[in-house]
Amino acid sequence: MPLPPQTATIRTQVSVPLRFADGYTTLARVFSFDGLVDGQENLAFGLGDRAAAVTSASAETVPLVRPHSECLTGDVFGSERCDCGPQLREAVERIADSGGYLLYLRQEGRGIGLYAKIDAYALQDAGLDTYEANLALGHREDERSYLVAAQMLQALGVLRVALLSNNPDKARQLRRFGVTVTERVPTSVHLSAANARYLATKARRGANTLDVPLSAG
């Protein structure tokens, strides 16, 4: 039983002003950690009223929290094969507006890694859907774990969250790891010609509670 998660602690916290490509700016408090079980350099971005220094578990309000899985192609290069870039951009602004944390989790390609994700794209171009491609590569459909997200929240003194996500698995896992999810706040659907099939597959497979107009695919 992983409950309660192994204790992680804040390693360093610094303020970082953010400016996105569309000109949106906000201030973030960026946290690194010691003791995360996956050994990855995961970061938490405190935004809005959580952009101040954390000294103790003090805040009264429930923060809006989004665990965002790293997607190099989408987050950095604006790949339209997925909706990660727009999701990240939306999440930062919504969290900054209401106060909370974006947890940037280094689990690329649903946890299979960057090169494997590119391999999976190649298989998708040959006709497999995003889940079938992962299975064909010997991976599970989704290998992501949110245990480190729970560890990060605990280190930040956050025991209750409003979860900004369309993915019920994130809520399930966080609850299993001892985080109280008071509500799940859906994100927008960021549809483009290139990611329509990807989003429709996510919705059809039940991994996401997206309402995707299937005719767009």
Coil/strand/helix, residue 201:
helix
In angstroms, give the least distance from the CB of 71 to Zn ion. Answer: 3
Return the SS3 of 67. Answer: strand
Q: Which is nearer to Zn ion, 50 or 202 (CB)?
A: 202
Q: Minimum distance between the CB of residue 74 and Zn ion, rounded to whole angstroms?
A: 3
207 binds Zn ion (CB under 5 A): no
Q: How many residues in the chain?
A: 217
- The region of 76-84, 156-164, 167-175, 193-201 touching Zn ion under the rule CB under 5 A is 76-84
Which of 28, 82, 153, 164 touches Zn ion by CB under 5 A? 82
152 touching Zn ion, by CB under 5 A: no
Per annotation, catalytic residue among 50, 125, 144, 184 = 144
Cβ-count burial 90-127 (b if 16+ within 10 Å, e if not): bbbebbbebbbbbbbbebbbbbbeeebbebbbebbeee
**In terms of CB distance, is 71 or 164 closer to Zn ion?**
71
142 is catalytic: yes
Separation of alpha carbons 215 and 191, rounded Å: 12
> In DSSP terms, which residues pair with 34 in a beta bridge?
9
Asked if the bond preceding 4 is cis, omega within 30° of 0, the reply is: yes
> Is residue 74 close enough to count as binding Zn ion by CB under 5 A?
yes
Non-local CB neighbours of 126 within 8 Å, separated by 6+ positions: none
- Is residue 125 annotated as part of the catalytic site, yes or no? no
Which of 46/74 has CB closer to Zn ion? 74
Closest separation between CB of residue 213 and Zn ion, Å?
20
133 forms part of the interface with Zn ion (CB under 5 A): no
Among 28, 71, 148, 191, binds Zn ion (CB under 5 A): 71
Dist CA 205 CA 40 (whole Å): 29
Catalytic residues: 142, 144
